[in-house]
Every structure is written in structure tokens, then in C-alpha cells.
Amino acid sequence: MRFDLTEEQKFLVDTVTRFLGKELPSTALRPWFRQASGEQYRAWWNRCGSLGWGGIFAPPGHGEHGSVSDVPLVDATLLAEAAGAALAPSGLVGTSAAVAALAADPELDHPALPGLLDCRTVAAFALEEPGGVWELSELTTTARVDGAELVVDGMKVLVADAATADLFVVACRVEDGVGLILVPSSSPGVGATDLAGLDLLRQYGTVRLDEVRVPREALIGRADPARILQLATCLQLAETTGSLDRLFHLMLEYTRTRYAFGRPIGSFQALKHRIADILLWVEGCKGTVEAAVAAVADQSPDSDLLVSVAKAYVGERSIEIGQQCTQIFGGIGFTWEHDAHLHLRRATTSRSVLGTPEQHRARVARLLDVKGEKRGDNGS
């Protein structure tokens, strides 16, 4: 993205990019195709922790953990963008959601925090429910008070790392509002099931919560679920944008080196127009995501609106970008060995997580109080 980066942020991006280029080149992605064990994923995530991936939102007083700037969300989105470009397996969204929620209540010394900061603990953000429910006001998962405990009931879907996570950040109804509860995956009554999906490098699943009992302290009372949802959405969008940007540049390089009729195919006018359109869409994705991140970081009143605008635009355009780039690659772009399908799979899957473009456009209309006019019998 196009923020004016500090020297520390530039160093962060450079360090992460070099780390991913060395430790996870494109050829190293293949073994992750639904063959990576939970232990392999944990080992990888723990290595990411050595670069501070888990501690960007850490509250003050936790050693070297924390943001390299005064705007941790920007730092995290820069990291997410680099991870997306490399298609890196990453628990950044779940861990950041958990740490940011705990940081909202610095007096709450939760025993899981050190493991989250060091990436020894895998966290997952459990928000969405069957039927496409993702808005906080529509959640049906509940947590009722029973003495010194909370009893959590419900079902969550599209949970990244569901079967691997040690800890779930569960958004649910608590008394008269919505809250975030930290639920260990080892708790009796928790059942996680992996699902087959398009994304070969990220596993999603369902989480069933059947009379799960946790201490009342598991409720992060001062955390704002709406802000955590904004944060998670911004990180997902930054990751998608990083993936799209990498795919575009791979395609651009291909058009410069692939010759037909004695000329680079990128010199043909028909392809020039298509490439210009794709570039416009990629830059549009970057611009909308940048605006959303800036609004959330500044706690702007327009945060919800700009996040939904970005999610609607990126969710829709990412599929078009992925398909167009794959077509320009020609036959090789449709082969298993090429990376194009991995980026397209990631974009297609992310489109439906944390709200679809259609749902976010409807939300934009509600936020702007746009009322549809009744159409006459003649369709006018």
C-alpha cells in the first residue's frame, strides 16, 4: 500500500519480504497442499513469531513485542500484504484479533497472552455462522452466565485454522450485547471439523460449541467486537491485495518475455488495453484498502462504511483480476505447476469470508441510508 512509511516500517517490510523469499519460495508451497500437519504449521508459525508477527498489537510492557510505529494496524497490514504476496500460511488474523482484544483491557493478565505474542499459540477468529451470518447484530451464538462461569452455545463456520487452533476468539451474544470470549480448543464441548475448499494453502473449518464452560474472565469485557471485526477485515483485505499485486507483476513479466510473431506479447494493443484495465483494478484495490485501514487506525466515524466499501470492491474485482491474469498467461496459466491458480483460489475463498461483496454493498446502502425506489410495472 501507499502509506508514507517510516524507516522502521520500511525495515519491517524488507525483513519480512526477504524472510519469506528465503524460507518460503514458490517451490516450497507445494508441500502445504493439504498435506502439512498441524505440527508443521505450528513450527512455521513459531518461526514467524521470531520476527514479531504475533506481537504487533501487544499492550505496553511486554518486552520487545509491539508495533514499530505508533500505528500498529498499518504495521500489521504491511506484514499481511507481504504474506499475501508470498501466499504464506499465516495465523496473523486470528492472533492479531486475540492480542488486540486483550490489549483493550491491559489489566486483564490472560495466561494465553505470552504464547500468542511468541506465536507458540495458534488463535482463530470465530465469527461467522451458518446461513451467511457475519454481522455482529445477527449472531445467534450465545454465552449465558452460570455462577462463576460462562456457558457458550452455537456453531461457527469459515473459521481459518479451525482444527489447528489452540484458542478461539468467539464473537457471541452476551446478555444484552455482543462480546468476545476466549475459548480454548481443548475445552469439553468444543468440536472442530476441517472442510475441503478451494484454497490449498489455508484450511477452513466449522467449530461447534456445545455447552462449553469457561471462566467469566474469558470474556474480554473492554474489547470492542466491532473494532476487532474491522481489524480482521483490514488484514484479510491487505493479504488479498498483496496476492493480487504479485499475480499482476508475474503476468506483466510474462508479457515482456513471451514472444509471438517475433514480438513480446505485451506489445500487442489488445493485450495492452487488458493490462491497463487490470492495473487500474489492482490500484483501485490498494486505494480502497488504504482508505479503510487509515479510517480504522484513526477510529474515524466512517470506519464501517469504508471497510465495507473496500471489502465489496476487492471481493468483486479480485476474481476478475485473477481470471484475467490467468487467461493472459495462456495455457501455462491453467497448469497445476503454475502459481496463478493459487492466487485465484485465495481470492475466490477470501471473497466469501467476513462477508461477501453483495452483503457489504447492502451494508453500505444501510449506512448511507440509501432507499431503493419502487419500480413501476414498466420497469422504469
pLDDT of residue 30: 80
The answer to whether the beta carbons of residues 198 and 191 sit under 8 Å apart is no
Determine how many CB atoms are found less than 10 A away from the CB of residue 11.
12
Mean pLDDT of 225-237: 97
Torsion, Cα of 203, 206, 209, 214 (10° steps): 20
Mean pLDDT of 297-318: 96
pLDDT of residue 34: 54
Pair (305, 179) in one structural domain: no
Grid cell in block for residue 105: 483491557
Categorise residue 20: left if φ over 0, alpha if ψ from -120 to 50, beta otherwise.
alpha
Pair (155, 288) in one structural domain: no
CATH number reported for the structural domain that contains residue 239 in this entry? 1.20.140.10
- Domain boundaries, position 149: 123-218
Pair (30, 133) in one structural domain: no
User: Is the Cα torsion angle 242, 248, 250, 252 positive or negative in sign?
Assistant: negative
CA–CA distance, 369 with 363 (Å, rounded to integer): 9
Grid cell in block for residue 78: 504491511
Angle at 24 between CA 201 and CA 64, to 5 degrees: 100
Give residue-wise pLDDT tens across range 169-178: 999 999 889 9
pLDDT of residue 28: 85
Q: For residue 35, name the pLDDT band (cuts at 50, 70, 90).
A: low
Based on C-alpha coordinates, what's the Rg of the chain?
21
At residue 61, what are phi and psi to the nearest 5 degrees? 90, 20
Pair (242, 108) in one structural domain: no
Domain count, the chain: 3
Determine how many CB atoms are found less than 10 A away from the CB of residue 8.
11
Pair (56, 109) in one structural domain: yes
Q: Which of 221, 280, 230 is CA-nearest to residue 102?
A: 221
Pair (208, 232) in one structural domain: no
Grid cell in block for residue 322: 485473477
pLDDT of residue 68: 87
CA–CA distance, 112 with 115 (Å, rounded to integer): 6
Q: Which of 65, 63, 265, 96 is CA-nearest to residue 167?
A: 96
Q: For residue 64, name the pLDDT band (cuts at 50, 70, 90).
A: confident
Give residue-wise pLDDT tens across range 145-169: 999 999 999 999 999 999 899 999 9
Pair (274, 341) in one structural domain: yes
Give residue-wise pLDDT tens across range 77-134: 999 999 999 999 889 999 999 999 999 887 777 889 999 999 999 999 999 999 999 9
Give residue-wise pLDDT tens across range 347-359: 999 999 999 999 9
CATH number reported for the structural domain that contains residue 132 in this entry? 2.40.110.10
Pair (299, 362) in one structural domain: yes
Q: For residue 377, name the pLDDT band (cuts at 50, 70, 90).
A: very low
